[in-house]
Amino acid sequence: MANERYKLMIVDDEYEIRQGLRSFDYSAFRIEASEDCENGLFALKALENEPADILVTDIRMPLMDGLELAEKVSSRYPHTKIIILSGYDDFEYAKKCMKHGALDYLLKPLDFEEYEKVLAKAIRLIGQEKEQQVRAAALERKAKLSAHHLRQKFLRDILQRSMTEEAIELESSSAEVMLEENGQYAVCLLRLSSYPEKPRGVGDKDWNLIVFTLDNLLQDLWDEQGMGYHYVDSDGQCSLIVANSDALTALRDNSDSLREKLDRLLSGLKRFRGLFKSHFSYVIGPVVSKPERIRLSYREAGALFHATADRPVEQSEDSAIDEGMPRRDIEQANGHRLVQEAKRFIEENFDRTITLEDVAKHVHLNASYLSFLFKEMTGQKYIDYLTLYRIDKAKAFLKQTNHKIHEVGEMVGYENPRYFTLVFKKYAQQSPVEYRNACFQTDAKDGRP
């Protein structure tokens, strides 16, 4: 154990912070900074290939934040020590982090002496646990990967080929899939609108991430909800096997409850619409009896998609675009949706340094085109929207809190107090101090404390 080296993963959406953490001298701790990722989703994917001993992660990130990442990592990789970084000295945040398995909670800007202490603490704990727990973790991961592989193979086979009762009984047991011999089932097919092609502008690396994300989301939104089982093929088609008796009864009775469940599932996928770059449609195959007939429901569902290729049977509420709309109206709707997404990103990240490139990357557009689109759709430049939003937030902080001027500037994304004062005065026609004094005078006149 004396020569043991430890792998550390860094997760932060700000490149400069990732580089700063990588440049730290970890040699005294026998730590290798093996990987850095820009958000929790990328980190979760990377951990599948190479688990880390220590995970250092920011909280606020796109696609998957640090709290959700910590929860998933502590569940899947219980021996990984998680260190949370945050710009907020918030006790509630700290409690949430510890609840999700974090070892410690450090504030930005990082105090490297404190960072060293936490790293030493992590190494000490790993040293105490490593010999017995790493073996157990390795065996557990191997078993999980083996079970996952067997489950995927079995689900693909029962959907796509003829299987005997005996084969189903044997293989379902190995795959840990529970199918009643005399049970009833149906298959829902969920597809991206671009199927079987990839969405425009999506490369192989992004496509693999999309398939991985769909598989993980459906595990949470379908399997874990007791609805049945799911299988995602390499083209991104999602097969949802309905094994829930209440849902099947509702389907036989022509009730809308299964469709409502599917609509809620599609709503759960909306948070990743910037990744998928497409909307979803679904169809529902007929109810069949016995597991060996599941493939018939799958086949009929596929036929429904083919029969309605020009207009899918069910369309996600995620799409605000009607196939019959004129091209100009479609472009307007797309532009409006992208600008709204850009605004949401700004409103969620105004308190840190963000650039037009950051926002463009989030909505998967070229920066110069986003700038043009923003002005075209809102009549306002991107930088003016961002600045006015920050100034409005700063006004609220100045009026409602006792934070110092430079602290208010930092809270709305300005590191330089002088620059914050200049910008505030330009847009508010008075300095932050003048604005705060004016608010206090108004409150005093109105008799408010």
User: To which H or E segment does residue 212 belong?
Assistant: helix 204-221
Which of 144-180 are b and which e, b meaning 16 or more Cβ less than 10 Å from the residue's Cβ? eeeeeebbeebbebbbeeebeeeebeebbeebebebe
Angle value at C-alpha 56, between 51 and 57, nearest 5 degrees: 105
CA pair distance 91, 448, nearest whole angstrom: 29
**Pair 282, 261: CB distance under 8 Å:** no
Q: What are the CB-based long-range contacts (under 8 Å, 24+) for 339-347? A: 339/373, 339/374, 339/377, 339/378, 341/273, 341/274, 342/370, 342/374, 342/382, 343/385, 345/62, 346/385, 346/386, 346/389, 347/389
- CA geometry: angle 348, 353, 356, nearest 5 deg: 80
Residue 306: half-sphere exposure toward Cβ, Cα within 13 Å: 6
Taken in order of first residue, the domains within the chain and their CATH numbers are 6-139 (3.40.50.2300), 178-315 (3.30.70.270), 328-445 (1.10.10.60)
At residue 199, φ and ψ (nearest 5 deg) are: -55, 150
Radius of gyration of the chain from its Cα atoms, rounded to whole angstroms: 26
Amino acid at 12: D
How far apart are alpha carbons 352 and 410 in whole angstroms? 8
CB contact at 8 A, 228 and 185: yes
Distance CA 5, CA 206 (A): 31
Task: Per residue of the chain (449 residues), give pLDDT as tens.
Answer: 556 788 999 999 888 888 889 888 888 888 888 888 988 899 988 888 888 999 998 888 888 888 888 888 888 888 889 998 887 766 677 677 777 778 888 888 888 888 899 999 998 888 887 667 666 666 666 656 666 788 888 999 999 999 888 888 878 877 778 888 889 999 999 888 777 777 766 777 778 888 888 888 898 889 888 899 999 988 888 999 999 888 888 888 776 778 888 888 888 777 776 677 667 888 888 889 999 999 999 988 887 776 554 333 333 333 333 333 343 444 566 678 788 889 999 998 888 888 888 888 887 777 777 888 888 888 988 888 999 999 999 999 999 988 899 999 989 988 888 888 988 998 899 999 999 888 877 755 555 55
Nearest to 215 by CA among 27, 31, 412, 41: 41
Burial status of residue 32 (CB atoms within 10 A of its CB: 0-12, 13-18, 19 or more): middle
Tell me how far apart the 2 most distant CA atoms of the chain are, in Å: 85
pLDDT score at 35? 84
Q: Which two tokens stand for residue 47?
A: 């951990």
Q: Whole-structure pTM over 0.75, yes or no?
A: no
| Cα dihedral sign, 53-59-60-64 | positive
Q: Which two tokens stand for residue 228?
A: 């049945």
